Amino acid sequence: MPAVQYIVEGGRKLSGTIRPSGNKNAALPIVAAALISESTVHLDNVPHIRDIETLIELLHSVGAVVEWTGQNSLRIEAHDIVASDLDANLCAKIRASILLAAPLLARCGEIRLPPPGGDVIGRRRLDTHFLALEQLGAKLTPEGGLLKMTVNKFRGADVFLDEPSVTATENALVAAATAQGRTILRNAASEPHVQDLGMFLQAMGAEIHGLGTNSITIEGGRPLGKSEVSHTIGPDHIEVGSFIGLAAVTKSELRIQDAGIEHLRSTRMGFERLGIVCEVEGDDLIVPAKQTLRIQSDLGDHVPKLEDQPWPAFPADTMSIAIVTATQCEGMIMMHEKMFESRLFFVDKLIGMGAKIVLCDPHRAIVAGPSKLRGAVLDSPDIRAGMALLIAALCAEGKSIINNVGQIERGYERIDDRLRALGANVERVADRRK
C-alpha cells in the first residue's frame, strides 16, 4: 500500500458527535478464534483497519473464507482448515498473528509459527503464551527460526499465568474452551477485550465463569460452533480515551456516542486527575468545552502521578494520549508507563513542538503545562503514539506534517474522515518524499 501523510492545520475548535469503532483488541482474537468453528460466524462492529485486513489474509492462507458483508461486518467460514507454515511476512506485520496458535492447534494439531510483529514499544515477551499452552497439552520445538507446536488434544489444567498478559490469556482461553476437562486460568487478564472474546466463545457454546476477574474457569468438552454464530464487537475504550484527550486539548465539546460507559471508570479517573471531567448521558459520554484544565495535586500539594496498571486500572494504551493532554493542563505531573520500556520515547517529538517534558528514564516522564505547541514535521512511531501526535498537531499553532501514518491506520478506522466531520483540518495525501 502506498505511503501516506497527514497534513494538519492546528488550532481549530471542534464540535459534534463521534462514535468509537469496535474494539480492535477484541476483534483480533475473536476473528482468530472463529477458526475453531466449522459453521459460519457473523461478526458486526468489526473495525475496518489494517491489522484486521492482515489477519484476514492469514486466515485465507489456512483455508478460511472471509468476506466483508458490510462496512464493519464479516462472515467467516472455516469448514476446511489446513495446517501449514504461516506466512512470515504477514506475521511480521502484526502481533496478533500469535493469536492463531490456539485455534489452529485445536483444529489441526500442528502449526509452525513465525515470530509475530507489531508496534516497536519495547520487549514484548511471548513466554506466557507458550507456558500456558504447554500446561494445556501442547509441545513446542524451535525449528529453523520458526516455532513448531503440536498437540494431540488440549486437556484442562490449573494454569497460573506468570504475568496477566492480555494475548496470552486470550490464547489460553481459546485453547481451554476446546479442551477436555476443566481449566482454571489464574492471574488472567480481565480487560474488556478479554471479556468480549469470552462472550464470543460463550455464544459458540463454551461454558466460562469469571470473565472480568483474574480467575477464569472454563468447563471444557462442550460442543463448539456446531451452528451459525453471530456476535457484535464492543466499543473501543482506547478510542474513547483518545477522543477525551482530543476534546480537552482543542477546548472543544464532543459527544462520544455509545461509549461503553461501564468500561470507562479508570479512564475517566485518569483524565479527572488532569482536570477533565466528563458527563454521562445514557450510553454517551460528553466532554464539555468550558473546563479548567488544572492538574489535581496530591494531598499536601505534592506532585501527582498518573500510572498505568493491569485492568481495571488506567490502560497502558491510553498513556500516550494522556501525556499529550497533560501538556495543555496547568500544573506538573509524573507520568509512569510501567509496561513498555520504549513507549515514552515519542516525547522527544512533543518537546520539539514546545512541550515542557523531562524524560526521567524509559518509563517515567515529568510533564509541566500548559505549553503552547507549534506545528512540526513528525513521524508516527506506533499506533498510540501516532494518534497522540495527531492530537498534538490538532491543538498546535500552524501546520504539521505527520509521516508513517500507516501506523495510526493500523488501529484507527478512517480517522481522518471522522476528524474532518468534527471540523478538523486534516488532509490525507500521498507521501512524496524521496
Catalytic site residues? 119
Grid cell digits, residue 173: 482461553
List CB contacts of 113: < 8 A, sequence separation 6 or more. 86, 91, 97, 98, 100, 101, 146, 147, 149
Cell of 321: 494520549
CB 205 within 8 A of CB 223: yes
Distance CA(419)–CA(256), nearest Å, equals 13
Residue type, 17: T
Angstrom distances, CA of residue 361 to CA of 342, 346, 347, 383: 10, 13, 12, 21
Let me know: does 235 contact 259? Beta carbons within 8 Å. yes
Angle between helices 383-395 and 237-249 (to 10 degrees): 20
Q: In what order do the strands lie in the sheet with 377-379?
A: 377-379, 399-403, 4-9, 425-430
Round to the nearest angstrom and report the end-to-end CA distance of the chain: 16
- Strand boundaries in 203-270, DSSP class E: 207-209, 215-219, 229-232, 253-256
Q: Are strands 207-209 and 215-219 parallel, antiparallel or unpaired?
A: antiparallel
| 3-state secondary structure at position 94 | coil
The cell numbers describing 341, all together, are 520500556
Q: Which residues contact residue 299 at a Cβ distance below 8 angstroms, ignoring those fewer than 6 apart? A: none
Put residue 181 in one of left, alpha, beta given phi > 0 → left and psi -120 to 50 → alpha.
left
Instruction: Please provide the size of the chain in residues.
Output: 434
Classify 119 as helix, strand or coil: coil
Cα 280 to Cα 293: distance, rounded to the nearest angstrom:
19
How do 65-70 and 73-77 pair as beta strands? antiparallel
Q: Determine contact, residues 241/275, Cβ cutoff 8 Å.
A: no
